[in-house]
Structure 1
Amino acid sequence: MSNTASGNLRVVVVTPERAVLDEAAEMVILPMIDGELGVQRGRAPLIGRLGAGELRLNSESGITRWFIDAGFVQVRSNVVTVLTAKAQPASEVTPEMVTAAANEAAALPATNAVERANKAKANDRASGLKRVADKNTSA
């Protein structure tokens, strides 16, 4: 991609259904399981676990925000590849979605290790949605 030669990263977001995003950015901020990670051109190769939350692309045209579910990221040769179960523009995240995700997480049982892990993942997703929705209302 010619944009990577001009000083930008290529950011690709893939869900099981399709590639949702393939854009150039000066910087991308990713929601990792233990905080945020900012990536710029020239970043050393990396593979990491994503947490549910906000993905931000900083480019000449401004900041583009997305909600992404947990998954994985690979950074290599100025290409950031995000593999996630779900990705949608942050502007589409509503308070109703947050409430539904929180209720769904609360309703899950937690009587064994697998159920506790699934409940924790659902709670993380609800928290990530809430952070994105809160920014939508404050913007």
Structure 2
Amino acid sequence: MAKPLQVVVVTPEATILEQEAEFVALPLYDGEIGIAPLHSPLIGRLGYGEMRIKTAAKTLHYYIDGGFVQVVDDVVSVLTNKAVLASKLDIAVAQAQLNSAMTKPVNTPELLAIRDRIVAQARAQIHVAKVASKA
């Protein structure tokens, strides 16, 4: 059997997680990627969504807020703006952020981009919280 992955999740504030894993699923900017031991090296741009870390004992669910992932020699390094354990997400807060963003006027391309980012983040948080609550 191949040696396990080493997963490191870092935000600007702190190292959130350093753990061995059997499998990691991450939200890329343009889809989802699964990483198992012996994965080829890569660098990818992260999107907003769920990171799943499967260990021998359980599966951890996190909300990831963009950033980058690097895979080299069975080490998965995740650099993100925010990583929150899915059980700590509040659906009501995310829904309020979504509703607020949808009511803001957008009359410039910059305001439209900001609104779209907030909407994507809120929708991803709601999705991750719902999926994790069923797991």
User: By the TM > 0.5 criterion, same fold?
Assistant: yes
Structure 1: 4+ residue segments shifted above 4 A: none
2:130 to 105, 115, 134: 134
| 1:9/1:27 contact within 8 Å kept | yes
Aligned to 1:105: 101
Partners of 1:136 and 1:98 lie apart in 2 by 15
2:71 maps to which residue? 75
2:88 aligned with 1:84, yes or no?
no
How many residue pairs match? The answer is 135
Matched residue, 1:42: 38
Equivalent residue runs for 1:3-18 within 5 Å: 7-18=3-14
User: Matches of 2:31 and 2:37 in 1, distance apart?
Assistant: 20
* Structure 2: distance between partners of 1:104 and 1:11: 35
- For 1:120, the equivalent position in structure 2 comes to 116
Counterpart of 1:71, as a letter, is G
Matched, 1:23 2:3: no
* One-letter amino acid of the structure 1 residue matched with residue 84 of structure 2: Q
Distance in structure 1 (CA, Å) of the matches to 2:28 and 2:123: 13
1:122 partner letter: I
8 Å CA contact 1:46–1:74 kept in 2: the answer is yes
- TM-score, scaled to structure 2: 0.90
Please list every run of 5 or more consecutive structure 2 residues that lacks an aligned counterpart in the other structure.
Answer: none
Task: Report the alpha carbon displacement of residue 103 of structure 1 after superposing the two structures with TM.
Answer: 2.7
Give the fraction of aligned pairs with identical amino acids, expressed as a percent: 40
Q: Are the counterparts in 1 of residues 61 and 132 from structure 2 also a CA contact under 8 Å? A: no
Q: CA deviation at 1:108?
A: 4.3
**CA offsets 1:35-78 (integer angstroms, 9 cap, x no match):** 21000111111111111111000110110111111111111111
Asked whether the 8 Å contact 1:51–1:124 carries over to 2, the reply is no
Q: Which amino acid aligns with 2:14?
A: R
The answer on 1:56 being equivalent to 2:52 is yes
- The root-mean-square deviation of aligned C-alpha atoms, in Å, is 1.8
